[in-house]
Structure 1
């Protein structure tokens, strides 16, 4: 489980690395910061397509071999980004990064069920998902630090070396994991239980990223200490991830409803608070549990690899969608208004899960 967790840390750090590198990357490639920002949005959109596509094409390939191969793809993609002579080569490398992210997430999320006893699935899933939270706390700042000490290209080079180490570790640490049967991707959306997981999660993630993408300008507007606040937000996310890994196996649907309500409380009251620090921490703890809870709900609903592939796709697609919608609200209404939008969508997500859950017994 530790090796897979480091794998999720690696793919998420690879995806988020441009956040701290946009200015030097743009200067080196002679493009604007906005254009350089495409290196951040492209992998998420590609991953949304790649997750179900790779799941459909994986066939009977051993999952250990598949995960190792996807990590090898991350080695190539990050090395290509480090050596890119121009912007379009860098963009091509980021597209390949998106393929690796989508594929790795589609299969990594199902490993806990196959590798640990049933009673430990919650903790094991939390460990796998914990790579996401740790990446937001440590991965991106570490890449930014490397860039400040050497060059932005070295940040991609270091993550390529980490991906290489993870690839080797996966081959050594994981047992053979033969495919368990043919995947029926279309059947996921026809199953009301699985469809409910995906819609609930999608609404919650759209709301979160509509607001969170613009949390830095909001904090600047409110005069908060940005660095410390965001650091504690990330640490809260790690705590929320493991707390939800303990709570969610009992009832993942109700856990996700609770997380949605807490996110709504935090984002609804943020524009009204004199000091946003504690509310941002609450937000971090709440959202930190979303990924592991959604995965456990999908597992309990018997979604299998097909369900997890669609969950990966929904996550990546709604991250991009939320950021896009939030940007329109910021530009045409105000920065505080985007917090209220996030709260409204979180409440809609919780209400949908509550209403849907009363008519469905699977996954409750």
Structure 2
């Protein structure tokens, strides 16, 4: 993001005088905790799907819409929330979104029917998309000049939630019931709201935030080309990721738990290295999707556990570099309208999650897991090539 100093730049939306005193990382930790709770809530239905479906009287396939509904709501919310709340303090918005997530999980926990459950999940989609749109700017406001660390911290929270959320949700659901698991998620979202209220200072909205900012961001051709690459890489991953267990089972059904753990180990390391390499943003943005494509191809062709282990670790590692790389890329290319740039990035991810998982299911039913892995690899490599040919403004 262009500035006149040699220090790492900060988007204009976050270039507000920091609170007096020594900088503290507590707000960033609180923001990361919040996104971790939101993402864990997003994928919680996958942990308890059979019991949830049986209890509310729908098939497991229909119950799977609980995840898709969240993504669809997020795709609609990300570009519109700043338009609807152009002048509201971003701290207030973030706290309200975490409260909405707590209410969403509570609604699911007590839902008497699938319809009520879906309403709760739609509310969660609003909370996730809105939080993602504002969290980066709030973090760089609290800790100016450390964009790469803020982005890595937020993505690290997502990785931890992805690695631990599903297995822990499954354990809790099996032990005390799926409704209790959602009740616990509601409590944790409420706790994250309290932590953020204590840690995060006021974050005034940018003077041009709203529809004007969004319109001007949409006119940035380089930004929109990058958003197209975001769609490609997220589409490629989520055409394959929902079916990773099937790919593992084809090689060794007994290795599933360890392979998913290996994916998680790679996933935790990815954001950390991406933050360290953020000084070479163009190369990072190109390399992460290409490495992801290589991992998907290696998974498709693996015939032994050692080879599959390498593929799965690389998969988790490469994909979890992508959110850091893409967030930094869009805010570098559109530094004056970073809030809208991130909102468009979030929208691209949510659309790609929905479309990718849907097409992946069709390919799986018609042609098996190998083809969907190859299709996913093609999309991610295309994204990497696209970013390789796009220049990024210097910091």
Normalising by structure 1, what TM-score? 0.95
Which one of the candidate residues 330, 350, 354 is aligned to 1:298? 330
Aligned to 2:116: 89
The 2-side partners of 1:66 and 1:59 are apart by: 11
Q: 2:31, 2:139 within 8 Å by CA — same for their partners in 1?
A: no
In the alignment, the residues of structure 2 paired with residue 153 and residue 273 of structure 1 have an alpha-carbon distance, to the nearest angstrom, of 39
2:208 is aligned to: 182
Q: Give the gaps of 5 or more residues in structure 2.
A: 1-27
Number of the residue aligned with 1:344: 378
CA RMSD of superposed structures (Å): 1.4
Between the aligned partners of 2:281 and 2:40, the Cα distance in structure 1 is: 27
Instruction: Measure, in 2, the Cα distance between the counterparts of 1:361 and 1:71.
Output: 34
State which of 242, 245, 259 in structure 2 corresponds to 1:229: 259
Deviating beyond 6 angstroms after TM superposition, the runs of 4 or more aligned structure 1 residues are none
Name the CA distance, whole Å, in 1 between partners of 2:348 and 2:207. Answer: 23
* Residues matched between the structures, number: 359
Alignment check: 8 A CA contact 1:264 1:343 kept: yes
Greater CA drift, 74-83 or 220-229: 220-229
Shift of 1:134: 0.4
Q: Structure 2-normalised TM-score?
A: 0.88
Unmatched 5+ residue regions in structure 1? none
- Per-residue CA deviation, residues 312-352 of structure 1 (Å, 9 max, x unaligned), is 11111111111111112112222111111111111111111
- Contact kept? 2:229, 2:384, Cα under 8 Å: yes
Is the aligned partner of 1:58 residue 2:85?
Answer: yes
- Determine the structure 2 residue equivalent to 1:39: 66
For residue 25 of structure 1, the aligned residue among 36, 52, 65 is: 52
Q: Does 1:141 align with 2:167?
A: yes
Aligned positions of 1:1-364 closer than 5 A: 1-118=28-145, 120-183=146-209, 184-224=213-253, 225-248=255-278, 250-275=279-304, 276-301=308-333, 302=335, 303-355=337-389, 357=390, 360-362=391-393
CA deviation vs aligned residue, 1:200-238 (integer Å, no higher than 9, x gap): 111111011111121111111222511110111012111
CA–CA distance in 1 between the matches of 2:392 and 2:125? 35
Is the Cα–Cα contact under 8 Å of residues 138 and 203 in structure 2 kept in the other structure? no
Tell me the CA shift for residue 193 of structure 1. Answer: 2.5
C-alpha displacement at 1:361, in angstroms?
4.4
